[in-house]
Amino acid sequence: MDPLAELKQTFFQECEELLGALEQTLQALDEGSSDSEDVNAAFRAIHSIKGGAGAFGCTELVGFAHVFEAALDHLRSGRVAIEDAPFSLFLRCSDAVADLVSAARNGEPATERPDLLAELAQVGKGPQAEAPAPAPVAAPAPAAPPPVAPAPVSAAAGDAPPGIAALGGLIAMVEAKTGTAASADDGWDDEPAAAAPAPTKPGRDVSLRITPESDLFRRVIEPRVVLGSLPTDDIVSIRCDLSHVPPLETLDVSDCFLRFDVMLRTELSIEDLHGRFDFSLASEEFELSFVGEGEEAASEAPAATEAASAEAEVPSAVAADLSAILAKLGPASEPVAQPDIQPAAPVAAAPVAAPAEPPAARQALRAPANEAAGRQRQAVSVRVDLDRIDKLMNLVGEIVITQSMLVECVRSLPYDVYAKTAEGIATLSRQTRELQDHVMAVRAQPVKAVFQRMPRLVRELAQTLGKEVRLVLEGENTEVDKTIIEELADPLTHMIRNSMDHGLETPNERAEAGKVREGTIKLIAEHRAGRIVISVTDDGRGINRDRLLAKARSRGLVGADERLAPEEIDQLIFAAGLSTAEQVSDISGRGVGMDVVRRNVESLGGRISVDSEPGRGCKFTLALPLTLAVLEGMVIRCGDDRYVIPIASVIETQHLASTPIERLPFGQEVLRWRGEVTPLYRLGDVMGSTGQTHENIVIIAETERGNNVGIAVDEIVGQQQVVVKSLEANFGTVNGASAATILGDGLVALILDIDSMLRLAASGARPNVTDLKNTLSDLKLAG
């Protein structure tokens, strides 16, 4: 991968984390936190995303992030009080940023969100902003929802005024340019002098002040086109001076009030530059001058000084203000019924120019931000490719095996030598165990990574379903192996969807049932008995047992006269093809829901269960092993070969001799276990074990579908943790086995996959023993 692409990849990884932090802090703020550090963290997150996006040319992302950042800046500066801020809007914006990031990551075209941009631009422009004087920093803006319906503008009827399109294009242009500059020096807020050109770039610094006549738009000349006449590479910075934009009530949208200050570093002569604007700008509409050493552009262009006060805010306010203009102009093209207002009457609206922030306040604000950055640096972390950790984990597994081999070898030594060696080996095994734990800890991640995605899911679903939902997360810091984390997202998504769609009632239904309108879903993670247990609890209507049972009967899953306990009925929710939703919705209810979840969970060696209380709610509990790298298994022997059956699959073991076996007409052996006819398979026959088999034991195991089977084996060797070695990675798929492991004596054993084994038995085929043997020795060699 070329370095740039690699960097870009890193950037996107960073974005994920930043987005997580952003959402988390916004969520905290939404839930009533008034911690200014949360605001700062949210601001920093979006700022970093913007900076990176600029460096990688993700223009849409920069544009959106910039407006978002400007809105958050109002909070940071105290212009908008935290308790008055529209966090739900911010959360939706954070979702939009996530969409833009993933679009940029996948190289897909970005979806523009003018709606959100317009709303964002309203932040900090509450009624108070109507006062012509800048709002004092200390005084929080009064609680005011952003004006929903933008004020209509007394514009000429007909097509959209030319200004609108021009401004739209301009935003992109200015954003793109300044975005790049920002990544270079992290200086959206910095003075133009700070945005100095790279010292290597030859040429002279030229200051260009563009003061177009107000009829620029009527000539259908967009600022974008004007600025586009300049050699792009030579542009150091572009500032838009909004100080001449009149208040909205007197603003004619067909007029251009924008002025531009452009800094160039160019080898072109002044004449050349003049030529570039030959027609689009009359000679009196622009001013070009060299910037001498140490001289400020302002001294060369006196007109610029008068705009200085407004410029303090300009770079970060440009997009916001332009968006505000856009937002306000938008409806002008669509006739809006305004019975109260005469068409020609001036319309009261907030002035377009943003209140300038006193420079002192900016200075004061910058300091804590820097401090915070310093603090952040102290929490040192290293980003490591998961592959490397996997290799490390593998190696540790090897050491564990080698060490247990050593233990076996040492036993045959004479006593005096043995005593000393055994001591060393004991230390070694303690250390390897510790090493294993530490590597596991490195791989362990808080479930936060998955939990974080859920608030968005809930938000979006709540909107789609028209329900009011509060999501409570607990135990986000519970750690679990990376392999499990990856597998958690789907089941959890499904479970939450299920709860939201079927479990929770609509606000009105809830009110009728005497509940609070807002439903609650709790997502809780905890460690219990060496497993991670995650529960999804809702306070909805619970499982409708009558309907579920009726449906199960109609599908023949339950006999007509069969009586089931209420808890048994609840478990039917995991049966294939059952959905009690009256209407199949987009969200869930196609009957592929919970049974799929159950199958996936069980394939990971986990369990899922449900507790429901009609009218009160429903709780799904998911229990998963902490890792997929190590497995608790029962080691068994059949002939000369040994196998491992995952303990999670084993229900019971019993002596074969005490078990009556019958043979069905087509040859299938069955046994009666707890009154149920259970098929019996002889492992040696199914897997083609070598050597003579003498089956003594039958293991009752459970399949993924919840059926039971008996597996006849020679002997149970023991129960132990085994390191899982992928067969696919080392050899190829072996029917009947999910993976392999290396036992203490250094020999390979297959880890059985009950379902796959049954399919193998049904097909009548046998795994190729020769191949298998080769696999085993390969595995041993390859480790």
What is the amino acid identity at position 519?
G
| Binding-residue total with other proteins (CB under 8 A) | 21
What is the Cα–Cα distance from 103 to 125, expressed in whole angstroms?
31
**Closer to other proteins by Cβ: residue 277 or 643:** 277
Q: Which of 367, 468, 338, 459 is nearest to 40 (CA)?
A: 367
Of 152-160, 193-201, 377-385, 523-531, which part binds other proteins (CB under 8 A)?
Answer: 152-160
- The nearest distance, CB 255 to other proteins, in angstroms, is 13
Q: Where are the beta strands (DSSP E) in 215-367?
A: 235-241, 259-266, 286-290
**Closer to other proteins by Cβ: residue 224 or 766:** 224
**Residue in 4, 5, 220, 592 binding other proteins, rule: CB under 8 A:** 220
**Which H, E and C letters describe 122-140, residue by residue?**
HCCCCHHHHCCCCCCCCCC
- The nearest distance, CB 389 to other proteins, in angstroms, is 48
**Closer to other proteins by Cβ: residue 282 or 516:** 282
**Residue in 2, 159, 271, 561 binding other proteins, rule: CB under 8 A:** 159
228 scored as a contact of other proteins (CB under 8 A): yes
**Closer to other proteins by Cβ: residue 169 or 688:** 169
| Whole-number Cα distances in Å, 361 to 123, 293, 364 | 19, 30, 5
**Closer to other proteins by Cβ: residue 343 or 675:** 343
Coil/strand/helix, residue 176: helix
Of 27-35, 273-281, 322-330, 674-682, which part binds other proteins (CB under 8 A)?
Answer: 273-281
For helices 314-329 and 59-76, angle between their N-to-C axes, nearest 10 degrees: 100
**Closer to other proteins by Cβ: residue 224 or 362:** 224
Of 161-169, 368-376, 385-393, 406-414, which part binds other proteins (CB under 8 A)?
Answer: 161-169
CA dihedral 578, 580, 586, 587 (to 10 degrees): -90
| Whole-number Cα distances in Å, 209 to 200, 313, 566 | 25, 18, 79
Q: Which of 401, 402, 391, 485 is nearest to 720 (CA)?
A: 401
8-state DSSP, 295? -
Of 159-167, 204-212, 357-365, 491-499, which part binds other proteins (CB under 8 A)?
Answer: 159-167
**Closer to other proteins by Cβ: residue 173 or 680:** 173
CB 578 within 8 A of CB 551: yes
**Residue in 78, 162, 197, 589 binding other proteins, rule: CB under 8 A:** 162
What is the Cα–Cα distance from 598 to 590, expressed in whole angstroms?
15
**Residue in 4, 5, 139, 282 binding other proteins, rule: CB under 8 A:** 282
**Closer to other proteins by Cβ: residue 281 or 495:** 281
218 scored as a contact of other proteins (CB under 8 A): yes
**Residue in 13, 34, 214, 229 binding other proteins, rule: CB under 8 A:** 229
335 scored as a contact of other proteins (CB under 8 A): no
For helices 36-55 and 359-378, angle between their N-to-C axes, nearest 10 degrees: 80
**Residue in 58, 221, 496, 549 binding other proteins, rule: CB under 8 A:** 221
Q: Within 13 Å, how many C-alpha atoms sit on residue 198's CB side? A: 8
- The nearest distance, CB 578 to other proteins, in angstroms, is 52
**Closer to other proteins by Cβ: residue 222 or 479:** 222
What is the Cα–Cα distance from 516 to 504, expressed in whole angstroms?
12
What is the amino acid identity at position 202?
P
Of 276-284, 345-353, 416-424, 533-541, which part binds other proteins (CB under 8 A)?
Answer: 276-284
507 scored as a contact of other proteins (CB under 8 A): no
**Residue in 198, 279, 665, 667 binding other proteins, rule: CB under 8 A:** 279
**Closer to other proteins by Cβ: residue 161 or 519:** 161
Strand bridging mode 617-625 / 630-638: unpaired
What is the Cα–Cα distance from 427 to 420, expressed in whole angstroms?
11
Of 95-103, 158-166, 688-696, 723-731, which part binds other proteins (CB under 8 A)?
Answer: 158-166
What is the amino acid identity at position 90?
F
- The DSSP secondary structure of 457-526, one letter per residue, reads HHHHHHHHHT--EEEEEE-TT-EEEHHHHHHHHHHHHHHHHHIIIIISPPHHHHHHTTS-SSEEEEEEEE
Q: Residue 320 is encoded by which pair of tokens?
A: 């916001």
| Whole-number Cα distances in Å, 233 to 55, 169, 177, 236 | 15, 19, 10, 8
Task: Give the chain's length.
Answer: 783
Question: Of 676-695, which residues contact other proteins (CB under 8 A)?
Answer: none
**Closer to other proteins by Cβ: residue 160 or 399:** 160
For helices 482-498 and 594-603, angle between their N-to-C axes, nearest 10 degrees: 160
Of 91-99, 225-233, 517-525, 634-642, which part binds other proteins (CB under 8 A)?
Answer: 225-233
- The nearest distance, CB 104 to other proteins, in angstroms, is 20
Of 6-14, 221-229, 386-394, 501-509, which part binds other proteins (CB under 8 A)?
Answer: 221-229
What is the Cα–Cα distance from 8 to 52, expressed in whole angstroms?
9
What are φ and ψ of residue 473, in 5° steps?
-105, 135
Question: Of 233-272, which residues contact other proteins (CB under 8 A)?
Answer: 254
- The nearest distance, CB 279 to other proteins, in angstroms, is 3
**Residue in 7, 137, 144, 160 binding other proteins, rule: CB under 8 A:** 160
**Closer to other proteins by Cβ: residue 224 or 453:** 224
**Closer to other proteins by Cβ: residue 333 or 653:** 333
What is the amino acid identity at position 612?
S
- The nearest distance, CB 281 to other proteins, in angstroms, is 9
Per-residue binding string, other proteins, 163-202, x by CB under 8 A, is --x---x---------------------------------
Coil/strand/helix, residue 676: strand
Of 224-232, 406-414, 676-684, 726-734, which part binds other proteins (CB under 8 A)?
Answer: 224-232
CB 481 within 8 A of CB 444: yes
Alpha helices in 659-707 (DSSP H): 683-687
How buried is 102 (Cβ within 10 angstroms: 0-12 exposed, 13-18 middle, 19+ buried)?
middle
- The nearest distance, CB 218 to other proteins, in angstroms, is 6
Q: CA 392 from chain center: how many Å?
A: 27
CA dihedral 348, 349, 352, 353 (to 10 degrees): 80
What is the Cα–Cα distance from 177 to 480, expressed in whole angstroms?
44
- The nearest distance, CB 116 to other proteins, in angstroms, is 21
**Closer to other proteins by Cβ: residue 17 or 252:** 252
158 scored as a contact of other proteins (CB under 8 A): yes
Summarize as ranges the residues that interact with other proteins (CB under 8 A): 158-160, 162, 165, 169, 215, 218-222, 224-225, 228-229, 254, 278-280, 282
